[in-house]
Amino acid sequence: MVPKYKRVLLKLSGESLLGKNNFGLDPEILSQFADDIKEVTEIGVQVALVIGGGNIYRGMNESETGIERAHGDYMGMLATVINGMALQSMLEKKGIYTRLQSALKMEEVAETYIRRRAIRHLEKGRVVIFGAGTGNPYFTTDTAGSLRAIEINADIILKGTRVDGIYDSDPEKNPDAKKFETISYDDALNKNLKIMDKTAFTLCQENKMPICVFNMNKPGNLLKVITDSDDQGTLVTA
């Protein structure tokens, strides 16, 4: 198999790790994701990862919780590191060398993020997991994914979701929802499609970073997205 991309940034939500659970991590999902990532590394694709933390902690309304927004965002960053450690452990169990890098200093569990070091790890065939978002409150992990993809010169952002692409309405609620095979940044903004938050999306648009939204919950789909072009997700480009 010949991959279409040499280096990819895979963005996963924290909720994707829930599986059948209401909270925390599902070992079966972790194992499936690790298998899928292993498949693409075996054909020479360099993989970087950004994972959200919503399965452990999701920022809530300050008036309801009493926790100020910035403080809550730092709590969410720690949750992303927990998820990164979990997937790192599963990947290494399957024989994949990894590095977990954190935007916040926590030297006992992760390297501090250094762009050149991350690129060198990728060149050596290691999967690099970026934790703790951007290291700053008020920014989502979508923004962290866009930023890291641009910094490491990734060919594309692969946004793994539980649906098989971008639709004009929620396909889980509307059976007549129309799927887009490809769509431009401008059209996505004009249609107000919720692909990423606007900061993350604008970063991609300004730096011409393509985005592919696909169903990560189906085993083998990651390999199909990277090697095939037939009906695999939705591609967002200029």
Sort 189 into a burial class: Cβ within 10 Å, 0-12 / 13-18 / 19+: middle
Which helix (H) or strand (E) segment holds residue 10: the answer is strand 7-12
Q: Which CATH number fits domain 7-237: 1.10.150.120, 1.10.150.130, 3.50.40.10, 3.40.1160.10?
A: 3.40.1160.10
Question: What are 86-133's pLDDT values in tens digits?
Answer: 999 999 999 999 999 999 999 999 999 999 999 999 999 999 999 999
- Mean pLDDT is lowest, of 54-63, 104-113, 141-150, for 54-63
Question: What are 155-208's pLDDT values in tens digits?
Answer: 999 999 988 999 999 888 898 999 999 999 999 999 999 899 999 999 999 999
Residues 105/135, Cβ–Cβ less than 8 Å: no
Tell me the two tokens of residue 180.
Answer: 């887009």
The whole-model pTM stands at 0.95
* Beta-sheet strands, E only, within 75-204: 98-102, 111-112, 127-131, 156-161, 166-167, 179-180, 182-184
Which residue reads 């910094």 in tokens? 151
Distances (CA, A) of 23 to 6, 14, 79: 34, 10, 12
